[in-house]
Structure 1
Amino acid sequence: MDKAKSFEDLFGGAPEARADAPGRVNLLGEHTDYNDGFVLPTAIPQRTRVEISRSPDGQHHFYAVKLDVLSSVAPEGPAPDNFAGYVFGCIELLKARGHAIGPLCMRIDSEVPMGAGLSSSAALEVATLRGLRQLFNLPIDDVEIAQIAQIAEIEYAHVRCGIMDQMASSLADTGHMLFLDTRTLERRVLPLPAHAEIVVIDSGVPRTLAGSKYNERREECEAAAARLGVPALRDITDPTATDTLPEPLRRRARHVISENNRVLEAATGICAERFGELMNASHASLRDDYEVSVPELDYLVDLLQQEETVFGARLTGAGFGGACVALVRAGEGRSVAERVLASYNRAHQGRVLVPDYRQRF
């Protein structure tokens, strides 16, 4: 493999600003954020890093190391439809808020895998906004960065996402859970259950949210909330309240309501065994009621759940492919991952995405 092109190689000088942001893994609270609900993500060790300087020629130039693609864009647009669209969107939203952002050169290098449900797009957006904040000394805080990043995803990637991914990338760390109320943005940093560690394994099945049924699920939730007479499904706590709804709205709403209840229980400080039970129930709900799993994810989760030292496992992210997360007895993560991957790879191609099993809580 050829040596990666440096910023100096690409643009003929040193960067004026550097920034980074992590991906995230969501432990509980899937598809609840765009329903004004509750989530429990944590940051992962993998990060996206950006280097930025002002462009000398009146054009934006964005280079992605992993793709080995240089995208040159006129500041007046239109927005590109590749990775550069996320960056362009962040710049345009800052300009719309009155910040003077001129043409830029940017080098992007990311350890966060794309299409694995670990928020590679949020990491790119947050890293970009952090870099621009540094370069132009912008008076924006970490919450505002997350809010701008979410709008960039919606308006420029056309994914009607909630704010969980961007808040986690902007505010979470790898040693704690971030309990977040996505309606009020009230948040608390919480420890995970004692004597446990996290394992994340990619199913090897990529997914793209814009091309999946993600937006359709959001529309179904909005329709269910309207029929139930509430602003959002977060305003209902009893899953049986959905019994009056037609299918599939009943099952979609039942998942969201029960998932919010799982997050609220987990946030009270429960043992690893009970946390694992909630993760297992979350996966069953995502598979059966929300219908966002795929056979590869179900198989991988089943292998994890059969392990004696695994407290619980579920798909993480929006589904339709991507990764699974498991809560494992401290010290057992590597051996669990090796056994599960050996079994999984007999039929599929998975890969461990968080190999640092010393991440214990």
Structure 2
Amino acid sequence: MKRYEDIFGVAPTVTARAPGRVNLLGEHTDYQGGFVLPAAIPQHATVSVSRGRTPAHRLHSENLDQTLTVPVGEVGAGFAPYLTGCLALTGVDGPHDLWVWSDVPSGGLSSSAALELATLRALRELHGLPLNDVDLALLGQKVEHEYVGVMCGVMDQMASSLADTTHMLFLDTRSLERRTLPMPAGTQVLVLDSGVPRRLAESGYNERRAQVEEASRLLGVTQLRDVTDPARLEGLPELLHRRARHVVTENARVLEALTADAAHFGTLMNASHASLRDDYEVSHPRVDDLVALLQAHPDVYGARMTGAGFGGAVVALTRDGQAPLVADAVLGQYGQEGRRVVP
């Protein structure tokens, strides 16, 4: 692996990291002011940075083995917008040299949010910026909106900025009120890569967001967070009814999960996947296959797709200590040797 010194010839001034996340429940609710239950994963994005020594930003991705040169004030292409967006929104001046590397798998584990938060943490330290961890999360979300073109909610950035690997982060995405909760007793979280790649900006993500915004408008509410009774959705056009029903019932599942034991939590995860597959239509046949294999395993309480969907990762709640054995058995059945396991 080439380090910062190998690319730029000097040691970096600052190095910062931020984790990816897995969402246990609360999918596609955050941009409607809903409730979510993510946790951080051990994998991180790492960003090293110094003030630049040339007129333009120099941006190196070790994962891609690619170095981009982007004039100050421009966005750039490829992976550049994630970094130039952070530089622009923090208001730092002058060119910067950035080196980035990540072991967060792409596809449902917030690799982009991890990159944004690692960059923002590095810039905060380099420039002594008066920004707290919530400020950084909100800036990361703004990078996605204004520079990447994905109209995401705030869950990914809040989880990358605030969550840890041993607790669930219960987050009210409207008020940003939050608290950490223990995992259900006697359980272990298992994340598997389906092997189906996806890219949010090229998927139906923004389309789904527009659909639930239209449903909210027709119902006369600011966000579907304000609807707690699914019966209130009657009368919506059929497609919008299904989209809204997912959001309303998913919010209810998160709240129910706060006091659920392992078995009931798993049941809620299974119901969440069915809703994402049938009502929100953001799953994929191969993802459904992998989830079904997990749900059928005797040491799995529940399983679902995680992240925005259209491919990517799945998450399962297993009996404590059984996750590696479950992964071996299920991946053998899935027929995708070499798929990545995130412990």
Residue by residue over 1:52-79, the C-alpha shift from the partner in whole angstroms, topping out at 9 and shown as x without a partner, is 11111121011111100101110021x1
Residue by residue over 1:252-303, the C-alpha shift from the partner in whole angstroms, topping out at 9 and shown as x without a partner, is 0000000000001112x21000000000000000000000011001000000
Please point out which of 54, 66, 69 is paired with 1:69: 66
SS of 2:301 mapped into structure 1: strand
* CA–CA separation in structure 2 for the residues paired with 1:298 and 1:187: 31
* CA–CA separation in structure 2 for the residues paired with 1:7 and 1:225: 48
SS of 1:351 mapped into structure 2: coil
* CA–CA separation in structure 2 for the residues paired with 1:332 and 1:147: 37
- 2:6 matched residue in structure 1: 9
- 1:140 matched residue in structure 2: 131
Check the 8 A contact 1:24/1:44 in 2, yes or no.
yes
Displacement after TM superposition at 1:349 (Å): 5.8
- 1:164 matched residue in structure 2: 155
* CA–CA separation in structure 1 for the residues paired with 2:132 and 2:281: 37
SS of 2:87 mapped into structure 1: helix
- 1:359 matched residue in structure 2: none
Please point out which of 290, 305, 313 is paired with 1:300: 290
* CA–CA separation in structure 1 for the residues paired with 2:338 and 2:162: 29
Displacement after TM superposition at 1:102 (Å): 2.1
- 1:185 matched residue in structure 2: 176
Structure 2, gaps ≥5 residues long: none
- 1:333 matched residue in structure 2: 323
CA RMSD of aligned residues (A): 0.9
Q: Quick one: percent identity of the two aligned structures?
A: 58
Scaled by the length of structure 2, what TM-score is found? 0.99
* CA–CA separation in structure 2 for the residues paired with 1:280 and 1:237: 20
Scaled by the length of structure 1, what TM-score is found? 0.94
- 1:285 matched residue in structure 2: 275
- 1:210 matched residue in structure 2: 201
- 1:351 matched residue in structure 2: 339
- 1:83 matched residue in structure 2: 79
Please point out which of 167, 172, 196 is paired with 2:187: 196
Please point out which of 45, 49, 72 is paired with 1:48: 45
Residue by residue over 1:116-147, the C-alpha shift from the partner in whole angstroms, topping out at 9 and shown as x without a partner, is 11001000000000000000111100000000
* CA–CA separation in structure 1 for the residues paired with 2:14 and 2:120: 11
Check the 8 A contact 1:203/1:349 in 2, yes or no.
no
* CA–CA separation in structure 2 for the residues paired with 1:273 and 1:76: 52
Check the 8 A contact 1:94/1:101 in 2, yes or no.
no
SS of 1:76 mapped into structure 2: coil
Please point out which of 216, 225, 228 is paired with 2:216: 225
* CA–CA separation in structure 1 for the residues paired with 2:253 and 2:47: 36
Displacement after TM superposition at 1:21 (Å): 0.1
- 1:261 matched residue in structure 2: 252
* CA–CA separation in structure 1 for the residues paired with 2:338 and 2:76: 31
- 2:116 matched residue in structure 1: 125
- Would the alpha carbon gap of residues 274 and 255 (structure 1) be closer, same or farther in structure 2, given more than 3 Å must change? same
SS of 2:55 mapped into structure 1: coil
* CA–CA separation in structure 1 for the residues paired with 2:317 and 2:183: 10
- Would the alpha carbon gap of residues 246 and 113 (structure 1) be closer, same or farther in structure 2, given more than 3 Å must change? same
SS of 2:200 mapped into structure 1: coil
Check the 8 A contact 1:201/1:350 in 2, yes or no.
no
Pair 1:101 & 2:98 matched: no
* CA–CA separation in structure 2 for the residues paired with 1:103 and 1:61: 8
Check the 8 A contact 2:270/2:303 in 1, yes or no.
yes
Letter in 2 for 1:343: Q
- 1:317 matched residue in structure 2: 307
* CA–CA separation in structure 2 for the residues paired with 1:103 and 1:8: 17
SS of 2:201 mapped into structure 1: coil
Displacement after TM superposition at 1:350 (Å): 6.2
Structure 1, gaps ≥5 residues long: 357-361
Residue by residue over 1:322-349, the C-alpha shift from the partner in whole angstroms, topping out at 9 and shown as x without a partner, is 010000000110110000000101xx46
Residue by residue over 1:207-245, the C-alpha shift from the partner in whole angstroms, topping out at 9 and shown as x without a partner, is 001100000100100110111110000000011211211
Check the 8 A contact 2:109/2:313 in 1, yes or no.
yes
Check the 8 A contact 1:36/1:233 in 2, yes or no.
yes
- 1:57 matched residue in structure 2: 54
Displacement after TM superposition at 1:352 (Å): 3.0
* CA–CA separation in structure 1 for the residues paired with 2:77 and 2:99: 18
Check the 8 A contact 1:293/1:320 in 2, yes or no.
yes
Number of equivalenced pairs: 343
* CA–CA separation in structure 2 for the residues paired with 1:13 and 1:139: 27
Check the 8 A contact 1:242/1:254 in 2, yes or no.
yes
* CA–CA separation in structure 1 for the residues paired with 2:292 and 2:82: 35
Check the 8 A contact 1:24/1:118 in 2, yes or no.
yes
Letter in 1 for 2:246: H
